[in-house]
Structure 1
């Protein structure tokens, strides 16, 4: 399998973390939450947390505090198909392919629900064929991009398709929830809205840099499921985020990496680019320590976190795009995502 094109999309409105703190202070929710909640939000939004701004599908920050099931559902329905379509179109343009060349589409999300699924809306928006194979994956959280791509790989390896469009889209502002729990508050301060897409092909395209998917591995630890997950409360998604997440991410990411490197006969220091999901600043610090690498190796993840916040499943498309735009050195690249489950996935890429 080869990556033929990458595309990303975010809503037009960008909000600094200081803007979010001011809007929170002026909202009714500030009075409804206690002093500890105020202190947590202030610390996350005004100190260095690795994030400077986020793009949100809102006309104003006042809207983010309209938290009820119908409002959040409408927000997802309005923005998820559009963001996914825009990312998909950019991926097709980079691959130099017309929409009718796509044989299958795989769409992942965890921040909303549609039936019929998002895949049909995205296929319609892009003008894909009526006989396209369409798959909707849900419930995989921040980790979803690599399972999405592995399904595409299976379709390509089975010679059922020549080109598959992989899309991850998250409208995290449609999964907003507030209460006095520190994990809930931190989540509300970290996540942004966006979509990423990749055209995955059975053969390489001459129009782009050659990116070959060589090997991959997954690890799901159900005993740590409650460390990071969504739960349903009052008809809305409430994010559970615990202090163990940075080290869980680092431990699982290293286990997946080591297994693939042993199988491939490649040493860790041979990795020339690290395309890592960044749950937050503390997650990146844990990865640096666990992998024995420095901040420079995770510069693309840190830059995307700074500019967009945690985009959940869409994040690694942004990181891969950033590395390609920077003309990162070729060779072995490591692509990894992790999240709810607790799950972790990794893939070894060969980039020429």
Structure 2
């Protein structure tokens, strides 16, 4: 990897407490218990006040999404991140041999890769791939695809773009398993520049050591735990079932059984085999840093517990979730950016990336840092404030009254007025 660039949206698209409250109060389908559920979910989500939402949602257009809004959202991510990468690397768009774009929730004609090729006037022989419907773990799927192409094509340059289209997929119903996505998913994305040209070795910041992909779609529970559907009222959204964390744990366990013997020292594997019933395997004997998909607080907690990680290890994922939310397939790179901004990444260090996504999939890879990393990135203006010394959840401060059972006598309209009044 020569470079990567995460997207930072504009200030007018921030989804703070007040904006989230305004959006929720517009939903005519919600009752008092639904508002309590939303408040409880936001309190425990791990998201802060600085995440970003689609501009069309903030403007109140969630019930009537337009294709142009989705394309505008995506193109902001595409061109902002790619312009910066091309400028920094001194590699021009005409030098790119392979282009892979993964956006799960939007398929257009012409394709998204075609839009990028047209915008940058790329070569006619470029190899372009669109990955649709691959979920939050699609970024590593895209890198795996590039890795396989590199095995048969020498001295090539590849671009991978990982993001999501949120504008057309804001859930307007009241099914709780589908309301969760509104509380977690936010606008963001990342572009990456990769090569197998040894002449560019000195430009590299990371080297891919190994990749393992696990897919549990043959299991009905795993297949159904995370799915795009319509509810009984016809509102389209993303259903996250209660079995999600259990399925994720199972997928990750299967994946790591293949990955860890490739990256851990033989002495640790032998020790674990002999002491299996009395000891966990120590993943830190072969890995210095852990880049966990910031899909939600529960996911980060469960992965940390299963691998025996410390709060220091989990800090990058927690802070990426707090600052940017769950940005789907782009999320891993905000975590990596945090590590780099904190000057944690030194030459020779190994980074384990863990991604989880619909399907159900668990994809992991290990990168080796090829030089000390101390570059500016999306965190540059805010990194001194992280981790926060004390996190005060604004939803608790402003809307604790919504949990009061004495409020049951009020109407839904009363609740909406109170919420809007508190936001003001």
TM-score by length of 2: 0.75
In the superposition, relative to structure 1, how do residues 123 and 321 fare at CA in structure 2: closer, same or farther (>3 Å)? Answer: farther
Q: Which residue is 1:185 aligned to?
A: 179
Q: Which residue is 2:422 aligned to?
A: none
Residue 177 (structure 1) shift: 1.4
Moved more, 120-129 or 36-45: 120-129
Residue 206 (structure 1) shift: 5.6
1:231 aligns with 2:229: yes
Q: Which residue is 2:322 aligned to?
A: 306
> Equivalents in 1 of 2:234, 2:66: separation in Å?
10
Give me the CA root mean square deviation. 2.2
Task: Give the conservation status (yes or no) of the 8 Å contact 2:56–2:167.
Answer: no
Task: Give the conservation status (yes or no) of the 8 Å contact 1:11–1:57.
Answer: no
> Equivalents in 2 of 1:141, 1:114: separation in Å?
17
The 5-angstrom pairing of residues 103-118 of structure 1 reads 103-118=97-112
Q: SS at the partner of 1:43?
A: helix
In the superposition, relative to structure 1, how do residues 209 and 106 fare at CA in structure 2: closer, same or farther (>3 Å)? Answer: closer
Give the structure with higher Rg (CA): 2
> Equivalents in 2 of 1:162, 1:323: separation in Å?
28
> Equivalents in 2 of 1:207, 1:306: separation in Å?
34
Q: SS at the partner of 1:54?
A: coil
> Equivalents in 2 of 1:6, 1:44: separation in Å?
32
The 5-angstrom pairing of residues 20-59 of structure 1 reads 20-27=19-26, 29=27, 31-45=28-42, 47-52=43-48, 53-58=50-55
Moved more, 158-167 or 202-211: 202-211
1:98 to 86, 92, 95: 92
The 5-angstrom pairing of residues 1-352 of structure 1 reads 3-12=1-10, 13-27=12-26, 29=27, 31-45=28-42, 47-52=43-48, 53-58=50-55, 61-63=58-60, 66-68=62-64, 71-159=65-153, 162-203=156-197, 205=200, 208=203, 210-222=205-217, 223=219, 224-231=222-229, 237-266=236-265, 268-269=283-284, 270-330=286-346, 331-352=349-370
Deviation digits for residues 108-135 of structure 1, max 9, x if unmatched? 0012221121001122233422321111
Higher fraction of strand = 1
Task: Give the conservation status (yes or no) of the 8 Å contact 1:21–1:42.
Answer: no
Task: Give the conservation status (yes or no) of the 8 Å contact 2:2–2:194.
Answer: yes
Moved more, 163-172 or 264-273: 264-273
In the superposition, relative to structure 1, how do residues 87 and 76 fare at CA in structure 2: closer, same or farther (>3 Å)? Answer: same
> Equivalents in 1 of 2:39, 2:341: separation in Å?
35
In the superposition, relative to structure 1, how do residues 320 and 41 fare at CA in structure 2: closer, same or farther (>3 Å)? Answer: same
Task: Give the conservation status (yes or no) of the 8 Å contact 1:8–1:90.
Answer: no
Equivalenced residues, count: 344
Residue 62 (structure 1) shift: 4.0
Gaps in structure 2 of 5+ consecutive residues: 269-282, 371-424
Moved more, 338-347 or 36-45: 36-45
Deviation digits for residues 48-81 of structure 1, max 9, x if unmatched? 42101321231672425x323xx24332122212
> Equivalents in 1 of 2:365, 2:201: separation in Å?
22
In the superposition, relative to structure 1, how do residues 26 and 260 fare at CA in structure 2: closer, same or farther (>3 Å)? Answer: closer
Residue 162 (structure 1) shift: 1.1
Task: Give the conservation status (yes or no) of the 8 Å contact 2:13–2:54.
Answer: no
Q: SS at the partner of 2:167?
A: helix
Gaps in structure 1 of 5+ consecutive residues: none
Moved more, 315-324 or 283-292: 315-324
In the superposition, relative to structure 1, how do residues 251 and 62 fare at CA in structure 2: closer, same or farther (>3 Å)? Answer: same
